[in-house]
Amino acid sequence: MRKKLIKLASLFLLINLYLLPSTGAYLTDRENVSGQFKAGTWEVTHYPVVNIHSVSDGDTVSSTLEIVASITDPDNDLSHYWLVVQNSLGQIVAGPGVVTQHSQIQNQLIFTWNTSSFVDGSYVIKLEARDLAGHKEPNQAPVLADANINTDSVDWVELMVDHTIDDLVINEVYYDVASDQNENLNEWVELYNNSDETVNLLGWKLVDKAGNARNISTDTDLPSHGFALLSYPSHNWDLWTEPSSAILANLTDSGAWLNNSGEEYLRLFNPSNQEADFVAWGGYDGWTINSGEGKSIARATAGVDTNAVADWAILASPNPGTNPHSHILVNLKQIEQNLQISFSNATGFDEVKYVVSYEHDAIKEQVIGVGNKVIDQENLALSPVYFGTCSSGGACTAHANVNNVNISLLYQKSGQVLGQSEINFNWFND
């Protein structure tokens, strides 16, 4: 009797095993599946897996952020994904929302977030996905928290927006080198310090569309509202007349690397690998500007950055290290012991601050002043600068043996710095 019971139990087990459907695969506790036992069958549920790659928890951004992600599904039956940016109050402030997506995505750009118009503070990027059957893990609406694993249907990234980080911008790019110059040596990029603080350049880098990086290898400080010129150590700066105030800094590597034609861009990153600025040309993403051979592209107003091609202009005569308003003509004239400074074709600024410095008999002198006009006024003449000393009674004594005369000009519009330039002047001594 005992043997018969054992045989019956074995037969019952075999019958039930025969009735179970084959899944065609072994299941592990690491697979993105779930299931339940129903009436002698095992139902296997797959769900999408999402991951954001281009930004991580705790990162700080200050300009444009490209959100690159992967969205996959074992059954390849995706329905849609949901991508939003929420502020610290939980309000949705950016993002495409629900996007129909049936094919899988691998390391693909799905949204570009321009943070320039957003207040500084904490934000959360939220990415979720469902398949055609409505499966998602965790299957909540709304999801209460991100489990911080890379095998589910939810990925949140908490970050900070901070526009107070070093405000350095790309101000001019000379990429299509003139035919009579060596292109492997003479490309250059101009940076402008748009902040009121000194910025150390070591560790900053430029990255082009192909992913080629050029690091600044010079440990030097860029003064507030100053210009830096970036090039290879072997660059021939004798081809240009750059002001003495411009900082020259070396880039790593060698050889021509910026495209003269076709889509191209440059991104500027600070030493913390945060993107600080961006410029494009050749039709990339609507940036239709092209310099042409021997010309440069430059910001129409130094440091003004709205992340738009409208910020930029083509300079027929590149002017590295100086005010981008190359149309302004500065006229210097010595009249006996006076220096007359005047401007023509001078539209675009309403105030110019000047510093005239010189030496006489090994004594250093400095005269500081300011000139004002309306924006559209084309001509401006400053009060003559007297090279001498006057007593309270009005008696004046001219300085002899004057040399090393330098004029520094700072242009402003409604209190905003537009740019600056420096000029050396040869003084005639009687």
Q: Where are the domains of the chain?
A: 46-161, 168-315, 329-425
Residues 6+ apart with CB under 8 A from 204: 168, 215, 216, 268, 269, 270, 271, 276
Q: Give the type of residue at 415.
A: G
Question: What was the pLDDT predicted at 225?
Answer: 85
Looking at domain 329-425, which of 1.10.20.10, 2.60.40.2420, 3.40.50.300, 3.90.870.30 is its CATH number? 2.60.40.2420
Token pair, residue 91, equals 């309000």
d(CA 289, CA 292): 9
Token pair, residue 281, equals 């040309």
Q: Are 97 and 80 in contact (CB under 8 A)?
A: no
Question: What was the pLDDT predicted at 273?
Answer: 82
In the predicted model, residues of the chain with pLDDT beneath 50 are 3-6, 8-9, 11-40
46-161 and 329-425 in the same fold: yes
Locate all alpha helices (DSSP H) within 119-219, ordered by sequence: 183-186
As beta bridge partners, residue 71 has 50, 105
Question: What's the CATH architecture for 46-161?
Answer: Sandwich (2.60)
Closest CA to 49 of 127, 126, 110, 102: 127
Q: Indicate the CATH number for domain 168-315.
A: 2.60.40.1260
Question: 99-117, pLDDT tens digit by residue?
Answer: 999 999 999 999 999 887 8
Give, in order, the Cα–Cα distances in Å from 360 to each of 95, 334, 357, 392, 409: 64, 16, 10, 22, 22
Report the SS3 class of residue 167.
Answer: coil
* Cβ burial, residue 430 (10 Å; 0-12/13-18/19+): exposed
Torsion of CA 351, 322, 278, 307, to 10 degrees: 20
* Residue whose tokens read 């006009």: 373
Q: Are 371 and 380 in contact (CB under 8 A)?
A: yes
Closest CA to 301 of 319, 322, 325, 280: 325
Token pair, residue 295, equals 């010309």
Question: 193-222, pLDDT tens digit by residue?
Answer: 988 788 899 999 999 999 999 999 999 999
Sign of the four-CA dihedral 17, 18, 19, 21: positive
Token pair, residue 130, equals 């469902």
Q: Are 260 and 294 in contact (CB under 8 A)?
A: no
d(CA 205, CA 18): 65
Question: What was the pLDDT predicted at 95?
Answer: 96
Question: What was the pLDDT predicted at 41?
Answer: 52
Question: What was the pLDDT predicted at 93?
Answer: 96
Closest CA to 311 of 324, 293, 328, 292: 324
